[in-house]
Amino acid sequence: MTWKNYDAVAREGDLVQLLGRRHKSQFITLKAGAIFQTHRGEIMHDDIIGKPWGSRLSSHTGSPFFLMRPGLADLITEIKRNTQIIYPKDIGYIAMVMGIGPGIHVLEAGTGSGALTTAFAYLVGDTGKVISYEQREQMQNLARNNLRRVGLLDRVDLKLGDAVNGFEERGVDAVFYDLPNPHDYISQAKAALKLGGFLGMILPTTNQVNKVLPELLVNDFAFIEVCELMLRFYKPDWERLRPTDRMVAHTGYLVFARSVMERPEEG
């Protein structure tokens, strides 16, 4: 049993989400005889197994929890990490723009903790494939464990390597870079992509975007877009509806382009 497939009730081996007060989440994999321990008390796994989703549970101290199937955004936000991750607000837009879906072959450079890798692996389905390059073995191992935990490792080829050396793959549908200097690797992406394929990247500063743009033109990429996304939550009080005190503002600049045979004329 994996995170991808659930019955109507929680089963041993399921990855589950326990939601407490103020939407605080805990993720556990159910195992008969095990105990979930928290500062708000203990819950026996045996008391969770067999319960319908959405059930209210109580720890031995009486603290309430709700039993939920984890959402993709929840898993990504709470992923074990050593570095900054790409957040769901950006991942959703990246996936839509680049057409990531069942059967797609997408190449990623800069696996990191595997947040974007996890989303891509979920979206490509059993007929697609994610190829993810990372030059730091420790980070690759962390991503491997994160993917294994959610049952998506079989959809991903994790490769240890530097983008500067290029990629073995040819004719992939999409390439995404989460690298500090993607302007140095545009020709490598071009070689891996099929004509018409998507190249995307996330960059923290405008200086990096400025370096990327001319390299895209030199390597025959067209239909270039640069954007950033802002996300504002509202307090769900119908009598006093207003924005929350904080918002998810700048997390990075997104750059997208299409591989073409030759650049269209300007104008």
Domain CATH for 139: 3.40.50.150
Q: Are residues 110 and 173 in the same domain?
A: yes
Cβ count near 251 (within 10 Å): 18
Average pLDDT over residues 240-250: 89
Residue 62: inside a domain, yes or no?
yes
pLDDT in tens, 120-145: 999 999 999 999 999 999 999 999 99
Number of structural domains the chain divides into = 2
Shared domain for 234 and 178, answered yes or no, is yes
Q: Which of 48, 70, 92 is the last residue of a domain?
A: 70
Is position 9 within any domain? no
**What's the rounded mean pLDDT across residues 242-249?**
87
pTM: 0.90
Residue 51 resides in a domain: yes
Higher pLDDT, 83 or 122: 122
**Is there a contact between 196 and 259 (Cβ–Cβ < 8 Å)?**
yes
pLDDT band at 207 (very low <50, low <70, confident <90, very high): very high
Residue 106 lies in a domain: yes
Measured N-to-C along each axis, helices 137-149 and 115-124 cross at an angle, to the nearest 10 degrees, of 50
Domain membership of residue 37 as a residue range? 15-70
Q: What is the mean pLDDT of residues 80-90?
A: 88
Identify whether residues 66 and 80 lie together within a single domain.
no
48 shares its domain with 88: no
Domain boundary among 37, 55, 70: 70
Q: What is the mean pLDDT of the chain?
A: 93
Helix (H, G, I), strand (E, B) or coil at 58: strand
> Is residue 30 domain-shared with residue 42, that is, in the same domain?
yes
Closest C-alpha among 162, 196, 157, 166 to residue 179: 162
Least confident stretch, 32-41, 93-102, 225-234 = 32-41
Residue 1 located in a structural domain: no
Residues 101 and 160 in one domain: yes
- E strand or H helix at 216: helix 206-218
| Shared domain check, 82 and 61 | no
6 in a structural domain: no
pLDDT given for residue 135 in this prediction: 95
> Does residue 188 register a pLDDT over 90?
yes
Task: Give the pLDDT band (50/70/90) at residue 83.
Answer: confident
Is residue 239 located within the same domain as residue 122?
yes
Per-residue H/E/C for 175-192: EEECCCCHHHHHHHHHHH
User: Does one domain contain both 65 and 78?
Assistant: no
Residue 133 and residue 33 share a domain: no
With bands split at pLDDT 50, 70 and 90, how would you rate the model's confidence at 262? confident
> Does 212 reside within a domain?
yes
**pLDDT interval class at 82 (50, 70, 90):** confident
Least confident piece of the model among 28-32, 130-134, 195-199: 28-32
Res 94 pLDDT > 90: yes
Q: Is residue 267 part of a domain?
A: no
Residue 64 shares a structural domain with residue 177:
no
What's the pLDDT band for 1 if we cut at 50, 70, 90?
very low
Q: What is the CATH number of the domain that holds 32?
A: 3.10.330.20
**% of residues, the chain, pLDDT over 90:** 81
- Asked if 142 and 234 sit in the same domain, the reply is yes
